[in-house]
Structure 1
Amino acid sequence: MIIDPQNDFCDIPKNKYQNPALPIKGSNNDMKRLAKFILANINNISEITITLDSHYRMDIAHTCFWRRGDNNLEPFSKITSDDIIRGSVTPKTKDNKKQIIRYFEYIEKSEITGLTIWPVHCEIGTWGNNINKHIQVSRNLWEDKNSKKANILLKGLDPLREQFSIFSKDTRKNKKCINRKLIKNLDKYDILLIAGESSSHCVKRTIEDLIYNSNRKDLQRIMVLTDCMSPVHGYEKRTRDFMSDMEDIGVTITNSIEVMSILK
């Protein structure tokens, strides 16, 4: 399972044709290592599932959705329901402001900090939304070799709801919906390898949703490839704590080199 291996998250050198919106340090090398791993195990990997963060430009977690005074919000701002109620930040959208406040109050029951506002990223139809070229090449070769197609799953399509994990999303009635069918499908595989970006956000939330909603008893057969993922800057400790927590409950924290001996 490859989580959000997209151009906007990769620290690819910029030019006039490619300019990653939310580059994560080390991520392009993560994708190179993961692509190398896929090619080395092209006969051992039975399925590939890829999630893609996919947003409209006017998205509740994007800077251009909000106004502070006469300006857009700054990237990485954190806002709460109180900020909206007081009017220190205002949504530009014509959608129901009360509904937006209720959504913030709903997520604040589990997220004390409210919502992080990101640069516009993974916009549908753009280069940044596309799969990193190293993963795309290895995916194509795997598909040709095995006469199969990778499973491509989109998330983040609701412009009024944040979605880090493919396994869960919040409805417009502020209820969490779990994709149990997908979890059940992944539970049937002998070994589930997980990689992608970023380890501090989408990878973390995806694994948490999987673990806490899975019927799998052998958690050690869920293996996280730590050399094929990196955290958003400033969230390194959050990632280390998460990996430690997962290891404590039995998930295998490994890397693309160590896991080779397991697959042989």
Structure 2
Amino acid sequence: MNTQTNTQLPIPDRFDRAKVGEVWRVPYQDRAAEAKIWAKQHNIQPAAKDKTRICLMAIDVQNTFCIPNFELFVGGRSGMGAVEDNVRLCEFIYRNLGTITEIAPTMDTHTSMQIFHPIFWINDAGEHPIPAATVISLDDVKQGKWKVNPAVAYSLAKGNYLALQKHALHYVQKLSDEGKYPLMIWPYHSMLGGIGHALVSAVEEAMFFHNMARNSQTNFEIKGGNPLTENYSVLRPEVLEGSDGRPIAQKNTRFLQKLLEFDAVIIAGQAKSHCVAWTIDDLLTEILTQDPKLAKKVYLLEDCTSPVVVPGIVDFTPQADAAFQRFADAGMHLVKSTDALDAWADLSL
């Protein structure tokens, strides 16, 4: 008999939608005690007893992307996209506490000297590129419009500036050859040790509550620490080898296989056009090499993700929607957080 409950649970009275866009301290000990009472009150069983094993992968639901006025707030077309998405994500977690087996939040994790941050590059005038407004193309590097900042060579290449400059040219060449987004210079964001790196408080609280109520360790997946490549996807960096052909990074094969061992994988997070789309694309690539039918176990929470939109500058909504349609055409499911899980196609509870 399946001890897993597919009945939607109530949302705890203490959950405050108005606080989802704010940063605050989660009272862990209080929530741990409440979770045990909540589990007993609603007959929520330990995750180890689940017959149908479901993973919720929450991509980069961090302050840097999800809190207004932080470094890379994903506003979407509504202007408050990530906040609205996280209200729905928190409520989805609470309602389906007895059904979600494991939650796997990915954590974009950076330091200052990385290939997509301003300090890495410099022009002949001694200026760094303007973040979120500068795209560095292959021609820009070939023509010397932008060069690697010699000052970063000490920390990143043991003083070997020529090797770093060679890598930079190789890097933008690979992005161009493989049809990936060109190199965008981003504001310093998701900085390791900083408040922007942390999960959104309300989401962290919901995940911790799930952890305690279901005795299921939250599975944090760190990405983005390699200074020589972007890492939109948690499953694979943008470039895997250096100019000499030697590997500088590798696919996250361990996590890929773990995801595919679940009966269902539910995906939400930020941003729909970048880290979410890239992660799903890498997951789909792996699925197609193993068994295309596995795509049916993937569910995309369309109302818990938003694309990058910078009013008057760039709007990645069409690209994000096109990517999600491609995923659906491959067999993945586009679903809403408000839908009952037992009504989802191909999900047997």
User: With structure 1 as the length reference, what TM-score do the two structures score?
Assistant: 0.91
**Match runs of 1:44-63 below 5 Å:** 44-63=99-118
Per-residue deviation at 1:7?
0.4
Q: Which residue of 2 aligns with 1:206?
A: 279
Name the residue aligned to 2:141. Answer: 84
Q: Which has the larger radius of gyration?
A: 2
Unaligned runs of 5+ in 2: 1-56, 76-80, 158-163, 310-314
Equivalent-residue separation in structure 2 for 1:11 and 1:201 (angstroms) = 17
State the Cα deviation string for residues 61-84 of structure 1 (Å, max 9, x = none): 112322232322112311123212
Report the equivalent of 1:22. 72
The separation in 2 between residues aligned to 1:113 and 1:178, in whole angstroms, is 19
Letter in 2 for 1:219: A
Secondary structure at the counterpart of residue 192 of structure 1: strand
Deviations 1:170-211 (A, max 9, x none): 334365732232222111211110000000000000001001
Q: Distance in 1 between matches of 2:119 and 2:88?
A: 34
> Which one-letter code corresponds to 2:282 in the other structure?
D
Match of 1:17 in 2: none
Q: Is 1:31 aligned to residue 86 of structure 2?
A: yes
Query: 3-state DSSP class of the match of 1:30?
Result: helix
Amino-acid identity (%): 28
Note if 1:242 corresponds to 2:323.
yes
CA distance in 2, matches of 1:194, 1:186: 11
1:225 maps to 301
2:67–2:200: 8 Å Cα contact kept in structure 1? no
Query: What is the one-letter code of the residue matched to 2:303?
Result: D
Comparing 30-39 and 64-73, the one that deviates more: 64-73
Q: What is the CA–CA distance in structure 1 between the aligned matches of 2:82 and 2:333, rounded to whole Å?
A: 21
| Contact residue 175 and residue 181 of structure 2 kept, 8 A | no
Secondary structure of the residue that 1:123 maps to in structure 2? coil
Across the two proteins, how many residue pairs are aligned to each other?
A: 258
- Pairwise mapping of residues 118-129 of structure 1 onto structure 2 (< 5 A)? 118-129=186-197
| Mapped contact 1:200–1:238 kept (Cα < 8 A) | yes
Runs of 4 or more above 6 Å deviation = none
5+ residue gaps in structure 1?
A: 15-19
User: 1:250 Cα shift?
Assistant: 1.0
Q: Residue 66 of structure 1 aligns with which residue? A: 121
CA 1:5 to 1:112, structure 2 compared with 1: closer, same or farther past 3 Å?
A: closer
Structure 2 residue matching 1:168: 3-state secondary structure: coil
Compared with structure 1, are the counterparts of its residues 251 and 259 closer, same or farther at alpha carbon in structure 2 (3 Å cutoff)? farther
